[in-house]
Amino acid sequence: MSALVSLRGLRVAFDGQFALRGIDLDVQPGEAVGLVGESGCGKSVTWLAALGLLPAKARVSGSVTLQGQELLGAAPATLDKVRGGRIAMIFQDPASSLNPVIRIGRQVEEALRLHRGLQGAAARAEAKRLFDQVGIPDAARRLDAWPHELSGGQNQRVMIAIALAGRPELLVADEPTTALDVTIQAQILALLQDLRRETGMALVLISHDLGVVAESCDRVCVMYAGRIVEQAPVERLFAAPTHPYTLGLLGALPPLDGPRRRLAAIPGSVPEPCAMPKGCAFAPRCAERSPACEIAVPAAIDLATGHQAACIRATAMGLLKETVAA
């Protein structure tokens, strides 16, 4: 199967400092990919760069293709069609993404006009259908509400309705539930699953919560300091986590059943782009580090189908596997 979206060697620098340091990632049609990692590791920048949404001072290089069509450096008209059309994105903060002085129905209708050429009664009817689809009660009346009249969860549903307006093949949802309480969070995640089943769209779910991603995604990519350090199908990642950073995040995961306990956070924090360690960026925080970790950035090694990790321990395991096979 050929990928819907492919990122290759995607790098982003702000003021000469690299925030993304070579991202390789494929999203297949219809699949749900989770992107996890602590704050500042580059999750949002990855997709903002892919969609040409970073400020002009950002230096972006590498390749981003949508079914073979290069998007990096594409003409503004091409990008306008893709964004909100074939690829939609829900941003981290729903409150600041909706225009506070425009009624919510109008904002959905505007997206329908832009991406599907719908106007007047047709746009209104489709906006109501989308509100129904995303579970906004009393949809017909709610079209005339202002953003401040809705709860955070309802505003997030409006954002999802706007994202669906262009019938996207891929929805990138950046922390769609962080600002919401746990019950509403679960409802929004369930909604995203239902929509995926109904529409067949692919989903990239960005989260700092491995638990959220485990429940909603087929595959997980773990990011650290501007790189993907491990990726695997969800069951595989939980069964055989390899990168010490992934192990740290798993250790920080509260048990699904049983009493909630405090998160065992990984000591230290993600390095700033201007203070990137030599070699493996995680080494300074890694309990397993050896002097070799500080020599070179470890390459991603295949451990099993779809499972890769970028750690010299994985390199050793890969070599071992080859030796056994030979």
Which residues contact Mg ion (rule: CB under 5 A)?
44
Cα 278-280-281 angle, rounded to 5 deg: 80
Least distance CB 223 / ligand ATP (angstroms)? 7
Least distance CB 40 / ligand ATP (angstroms)? 4
Nearest to 281 by CA among 60, 10, 46, 42: 42
**Helix, strand or coil, per DSSP, at residue 221:** strand
CA distance 178 to 43: 14
Work out the number of other CB atoms within 10 angstroms of the CB of residue 191.
18
Least distance CB 49 / ligand ATP (angstroms)? 9
Least distance CB 39 / ligand ATP (angstroms)? 3
- Among Mg ion, ligand ATP, none, the one that 16 touches (CB under a kind-dependent 5 to 8 A) is none
Q: Which is nearer to ligand ATP, 111 or 206 (CB)?
A: 206
- Among ligand ATP, Mg ion, none, the one that 315 touches (CB under a kind-dependent 5 to 8 A) is none
Q: Which is nearer to ligand ATP, 54 or 240 (CB)?
A: 54
- Among ligand ATP, Mg ion, none, the one that 39 touches (CB under a kind-dependent 5 to 8 A) is ligand ATP
- Among Mg ion, ligand ATP, none, the one that 42 touches (CB under a kind-dependent 5 to 8 A) is ligand ATP
What region does 325 belong to: left with phi over 0, alpha with psi -120 to 50, or beta? alpha
- Cα Rg for the chain, rounded, in angstroms? 21
CA distance 190 to 179: 16
Contact between residue 131 and residue 142 where contact means Cβ atoms under 8 Å apart: yes
Q: Which is nearer to Mg ion, 89 or 192 (CB)?
A: 89
CA distance 214 to 218: 8
- Among Mg ion, ligand ATP, none, the one that 34 touches (CB under a kind-dependent 5 to 8 A) is none
Q: Which is nearer to Mg ion, 44 or 177 (CB)?
A: 44
Q: Which residues bind ligand ATP (CB under 6 A)?
A: 14, 19, 37, 39-45, 55, 92, 208, 272-273
Q: Which is nearer to ligand ATP, 240 or 252 (CB)?
A: 252
Least distance CB 92 / ligand ATP (angstroms)? 6
Using the CB atoms, write b or e for 108-133: b if 16+ within 10 Å: bbbbbebbeebeeeebbebbbebbeb
Q: How far is CA 198 from CA 30, 127, 192, 226, in A?
A: 11, 17, 10, 33
Least distance CB 181 / ligand ATP (angstroms)? 19
Residue 193 CB burial class (10 angstroms; 0-12, 13-18, ≥19): middle
Q: Which is nearer to ligand ATP, 270 or 286 (CB)?
A: 270
Q: Which is nearer to Mg ion, 58 or 114 (CB)?
A: 58
**Helix, strand or coil, per DSSP, at residue 188:** helix
Q: Which is nearer to Mg ion, 47 or 282 (CB)?
A: 47
What residues contact residue 36 under an 8 Å CB cut-off, 6+ apart?
A: 43, 206, 207, 208, 209, 210, 213, 220, 221, 222, 223, 249
Least distance CB 74 / ligand ATP (angstroms)? 21
Least distance CB 177 / ligand ATP (angstroms)? 13
